[in-house]
Amino acid sequence: MKSLFQAGRPVVGEKLIGREQAIKQIISFLVGGQSVVLMAPRRFGKTSILLEVLNRVKSQGLFTAYIDIFATPTKRILAEQITESVLANRKLDKVFANFRKSISSILKQVEFKQAIEDFEFILDFAETKQDESVLLSESIDFIERFSIKYNQQIVCGFDEFGDIEKLDGLEIVKLFRSKLQLQQNTSFLFSGSHESVMNQIFITSKSPFYRFARIINVKEISPDIFKNYIKNEFSRIDVKINPESLNSIIEFTGGQPYYTQLVCRQLEYLVTTNFAKSSSGISKQISINDVNTAIEEAFWAEINYIEKLWEELSVSREQTQVLISIVRGVDSVYRSLNLNQVNVSRALRNLKLKGVIKREGKNYRLIDPMLKYFICRDILKLDKAECIKSG
Round to whole Å and give the CA distance between 127 and 45: 38
| Per-residue pLDDT at 304 exceeds 80 | yes
Question: Is residue 316 helix, strand or coil?
Answer: coil
Q: Name the residue ranges covered by the structural domains of the chain.
A: 19-217, 223-301, 306-390
**Predicted model pTM:** 0.89
What number is the average pLDDT over the span 327-356? 84
- DSSP letter at 62 equals -
Task: Say which residue, 24 or 99, is predicted with more confidence.
Answer: 24
* pLDDT number for residue 281: 46
* pLDDT number for residue 57: 97
Highest mean pLDDT among 174-188, 269-283, 321-335, 337-351: 174-188
Quote the percentage of the chain above a pLDDT of 70: 91
**For residue range 128-159, what is the model confidence (pLDDT) as tens digits?**
788 899 999 999 999 999 999 999 999 999 99
Quick one: CA torsion of 166, 208, 44, 29, rounded to 10 degrees? -140
Q: Would you identify the CATH topology of the domain 19-217?
A: Rossmann fold (3.40.50)
Highest mean pLDDT among 17-31, 125-139, 191-205: 17-31
9-39: b (≥16 Cβ within 10 Å) or e: ebbbeeebbbbeebbeebbebbeeeebbbbb
On the question of a common fold for 19-217 and 223-301, the answer reads no
Backbone angles phi, psi at 252, to 5 degrees: -75, -50
**For residue range 99-113, what is the model confidence (pLDDT) as tens digits?**
656 565 566 666 666
**Beta-strand (E) ranges in the chain?**
36-39, 63-68, 154-159, 186-192, 214-217, 240-241, 285-286, 357-360, 363-366
Q: What angle do helix axes 288-301 and 243-253 make, rounded to 10 degrees? A: 30
* pLDDT number for residue 276: 57
pLDDT band at 243 (very low <50, low <70, confident <90, very high): very high
**For residue range 274-301, what is the model confidence (pLDDT) as tens digits?**
765 555 544 588 989 999 999 999 999 9
Q: Which CATH architecture has domain 223-301?
A: Orthogonal Bundle (1.10)
